[in-house]
Amino acid sequence: MSDEVTELLAEWERVEREGGVGPITRDVVTVTGPDAGRYLQGQLSQEVVALPDGASTWSLILQPTGKVDAWLRVTRRNDEDYVLDVDEGFGDALVARLQRFLLRTKAEISEPRTIHGQGFRAAAGAAAPIEGADPGPLVLQAPVVGPGVVGPGVVGSDSLALDGSVVVGVAPVATELAGPETMERYRIAHGVPAMGAELTTDTIPAEAGQWLIDASVSFTKGCYTGQELVARIDSRGGNVPRPVRLLVVQGEIPVVVGAEVRLDGDPVGTVTSSTPPLSPGHPGLALAPLARAVEVGATVQVESVEGWVPAGVVEPPFVGHAQA
């Protein structure tokens, strides 16, 4: 085992045991003006006008067909000032989508700006700036949500420090900063989708998991763009064509994004995110939207650089075993 892998394994086991934080980057867009709340209420899947000032929630913004344009976090600063943050690289698409239906509306949508994180530590369930963090107008805390992942966090006031970290785990105090490889493994192990990977303009929201619907959709608010498909799928028990599945890849050969997945020789999907094995107890992991016929507990074959390797389909999270 190389020194690099040994260090990654030690870092991963620390995050599993204690929780941790890691640098991220988010694109941030503001929507301001007298009609800002009313407009977003009709465009986002989540209740936004009833949020208390300073509170945030996860939401989807959908196409009229009900498929995903973006999965984002919205924060209400006041009734005329909302902040939306989304995965890096998707700010321009978010702005274009918001402007598409902005007719006779007293609201202004900013150009996206990118915030690079400098690290936060979790302290008694809240984030506190690491010493030396630059001051700035926003704080981004816990921008990943999912099974076992802290969220949604907040985008805070002008007095808070600029940051783009993700806080994970359940430990009351986590002071060590984890690297991007570890945080990506954490995301995949917990089945958290990423824009451009598991979430595309062809994705039906429920394909990413019921927990994402629970975190991002209000079924008691008024109408919003794309609502019909979300409501119809929910009424049918969330049965979707291509649910995102977590794969535990056997052996020492990593699989890459774009690798084909087969069941009994038939193509059933393609890998959209992957992370390599660290040890026998911490195998390679992958996310892939698969045909609904592929159930949890199945064994599939995944294409690798050295041929086809078996992988088990499991429920997230998968964090590892005691063996090393």
Rounded to two decimals, the pTM is 0.85
Q: What tokens appear for 75 in the block?
A: 């924060």
How does pLDDT run across 210-259, given as a tens digit for each residue?
A: 888 988 999 999 999 999 999 999 998 889 999 999 999 999 989 999 99
How far is residue 217's CA from residue 97's CA, in Å, rounded to a whole number?
Answer: 18
43 membership: H or E segment, kind and range: helix 36-43
- Nearby residues of 317 by Cβ (< 8 Å), 6 or more positions away: 147, 148, 189, 190, 191
Mean pLDDT of 72-97: 92
How far is residue 9's CA from residue 185's CA, in Å, rounded to a whole number?
Answer: 11
For the chain, domains (ranges, CATH) are 3-189 (3.30.70.1400), 244-314 (2.40.30.110)
The residue ranges of DSSP E strands in 130-283, in sequence order, are 165-168, 173-174, 244-249, 260-263, 266-270, 273-275
Model confidence at 63: pLDDT above 70: yes
Give the Cα-Cα-Cα angle 84, 146, 251 (nearest 5 degrees). 125
